C-alpha cells in the first residue's frame, strides 16, 4: 500500500491514502444528505408499515355495515368518524393503504419489467426487430388509456374478479413509455467501445444486455420506477373514484373517495373524504420527492 509521507517538526508522519468511493456509494451518501428525500422516505415507510400492520392496530370490521353509526363525526370510539355505511374511516384508511400500495408496487414492477425487456431488445438489435417492437409499442401507446382500462376491466371482471385483474390491465397498457426510454438509452450506450469489445470476444446478446448495458442504464430505470409508482397510485385512485377500479367491497383510498361525489358528503362530512385525499396527496408527494432525490444522487454533476 502506498503511503503519503509528510515532515513536521522533524517528525515523519505517515497516513494511508484516502479510499475513493464507488459511484453507488457516492450516490447513497448524497441521497442520505437530502433532507427532503429522507423525510419523504421515512413518511412512506411509516404509511407502508401501518398499512401492513392494520389487523394488529385496529380490530374494527372493515366491511361490516352498521346502520346505527352512519356518518358519525370523529370521536374517541371512531378517531376519524364513520362513513355513510357506518364503517370506521380510520380502519378503512389503513386497509385501503394495503390495496393502493399493492396496486402501485405491483403495476410498477410489471411495467418496468415489460418496458425494460422490450426496450433493451429493440435498442440492442435495431433494424427489423426494432421496427416491429416499436410499432407494437406505438400501438399500445395510442390506446385511449382510461377508456380501455375501464372496458377491459369490465369484460374480465366476470371471469377473474379481484384486484389482480386491475393490476394486469393497467400494467399491459402502461409499459410503452418505459420501453421507449430504455431503448433510447441502450441505443446510445451500445456504441461505446466496451460493448463492441464484449461482442467481439463472443459474448451472447443476452449477456451483453444483462451484464453490460442494463447496469449502465439502471439509474434511469430506477428514477422512472419512482415516477411510475406515483402514477400507478393516482390511476388506481382515479379509477376507483369513478367506480371502475378496485371492487367496491374491497377498501382502497380511491374507493373511499368515491363517497365524495355526493354533495352532502363533500360539503358537510369532510371527515369521510379528507383523510384519504390527504394521504393520497402526501404519498404522491413523498414518492416524487424520493424520485427527485434519487435523480440528484445519481447525477454526478448535481451539487444539490
The predicted-structure confidence for 125-150, as pLDDT tens digits, reads as follows: 988 999 999 999 999 888 787 787 77
**Residue 28 CB partners (closer than 8 Å, separation 6+):** 297
* Number of C-beta neighbours around residue 238 at 10 A: 15
> From CA 226, how far away is CA 293, in angstroms rounded?
10
Q: What is the pLDDT of residue 183?
A: 93
**Residue 68 CB partners (closer than 8 Å, separation 6+):** 86
β partners of residue 6: 13
Dump pLDDT digits (tens) for 144-179.
Answer: 877 877 777 677 665 555 788 888 888 988 999 999
Helix (H) or strand (E) holding 267: helix 263-268
- Assign residue 263 the CATH number of its domain: 1.10.3720.10
Number of domains comprising the chain: 1
β partners of residue 11: 8
Q: What is the pLDDT of residue 175?
A: 92
pLDDT tops 50 at residue 5: no
* Number of C-beta neighbours around residue 82 at 10 A: 26
Q: What is the pLDDT of residue 3?
A: 46
Give the pLDDT band of residue 202 (cuts 50, 70, 90): confident
Helix (H) or strand (E) holding 131: helix 127-141
269 in Cβ contact with 82 (< 8 Å): no
> From CA 128, how far away is CA 132, in angstroms rounded?
6
276 in a structural domain:
yes
86 in a structural domain:
yes
> From CA 119, how far away is CA 235, in angstroms rounded?
23
Q: Which domain holds residue 47?
A: 22-58+77-298
Percentage of residues in the chain having pLDDT higher than 90 = 34
258 in a structural domain:
yes
Dump pLDDT digits (tens) for 269-300.
Answer: 888 888 999 999 999 999 999 999 998 888 76
Dump pLDDT digits (tens) for 16-54.
Answer: 555 667 777 888 888 888 899 999 999 999 999 999 998
231 in a structural domain:
yes
> From CA 107, how far away is CA 222, in angstroms rounded?
15
Average pLDDT of the residues of the chain: 84
111 in a structural domain:
yes
Amino acid at each position: 500500500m502506498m503511503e503519503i509521507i509528510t515532515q513536521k517538526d522533524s517528525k515523519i508522519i505517515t497516513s494511508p491514502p484516502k479510499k475513493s468511493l464507488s459511484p453507488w456509494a457516492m450516490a447513497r451518501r448524497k441521497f442520505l444528505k437530502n433532507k427532503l428525500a429522507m423525510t419523504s422516505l421515512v413518511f412512506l415507510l411509516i404509511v407502508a408499515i401501518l398499512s401492513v400492520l392494520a389487523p394488529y392496530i385496529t380490530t374494527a370490521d372493515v366491511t361490516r355495515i352498521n346502520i346505527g353509526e352512519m356518518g358519525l363525526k370523529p370521536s374517541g370510539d371512531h378517531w376519524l368518524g364513520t362513513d355513510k355505511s357506518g364503517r370506521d374511516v380510520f380502519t378503512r384508511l389503513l386497509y385501503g393503504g394495503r390495496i393502493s400500495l399493492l396496486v402501485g408496487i405491483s403495476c410498477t414492477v410489471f411495467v418496468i419489467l415489460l418496458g425494460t425487456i422490450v426496450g433493451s431488445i429493440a435498442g440492442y438489435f435495431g433494424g427489423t426487430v426494432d421496427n416491429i417492437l416499436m410499432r407494437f409499442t406505438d400501438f399500445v401507446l395510442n390506446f385511449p388509456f382510461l377508456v380501455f382500462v375501464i372496458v377491459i376491466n369490465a369484460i374480465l371482471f366476470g371471469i377473474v374478479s379481484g384486484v389482480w385483474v386491475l393490476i394486469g390491465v393497467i400494467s399491459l397498457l402502461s409499459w410503452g413509455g418505459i420501453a421507449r426510454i430504455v431503448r433510447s438509452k441502450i441505443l446510445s450506450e451500445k456504441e461505446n467501445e466496451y460493448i463492441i469489445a464484449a461482442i467481439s470476444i463472443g459474448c451472447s446478446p443476452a449477456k451483453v444486455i444483462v451484464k453490460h448495458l442494463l447496469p449502465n442504464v439502471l439509474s434511469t430505470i430506477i428514477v422512472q420506477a419512482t415516477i411510475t409508482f406515483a402514477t400507478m397510485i393516482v390511476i388506481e385512485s382515479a379509477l376507483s373514484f369513478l367506480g371502475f377500479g378496485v371492487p367496491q367491497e374491497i377498501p382502497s383510498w380511491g374507493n373511499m373517495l368515491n363517497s365524495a361525489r355526493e354533495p352532502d358528503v363533500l360539503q358537510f362530512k369532510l371527515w369521510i373524504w379528507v383523510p384519504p385525499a390527504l394521504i393520497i396527496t402526501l404519498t404522491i408527494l413523498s414518492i416524487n420527492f424520493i424520485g427527485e432525490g434519487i435523480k440528484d444522487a445519481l447525477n454526478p454533476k448535481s451539487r444539490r
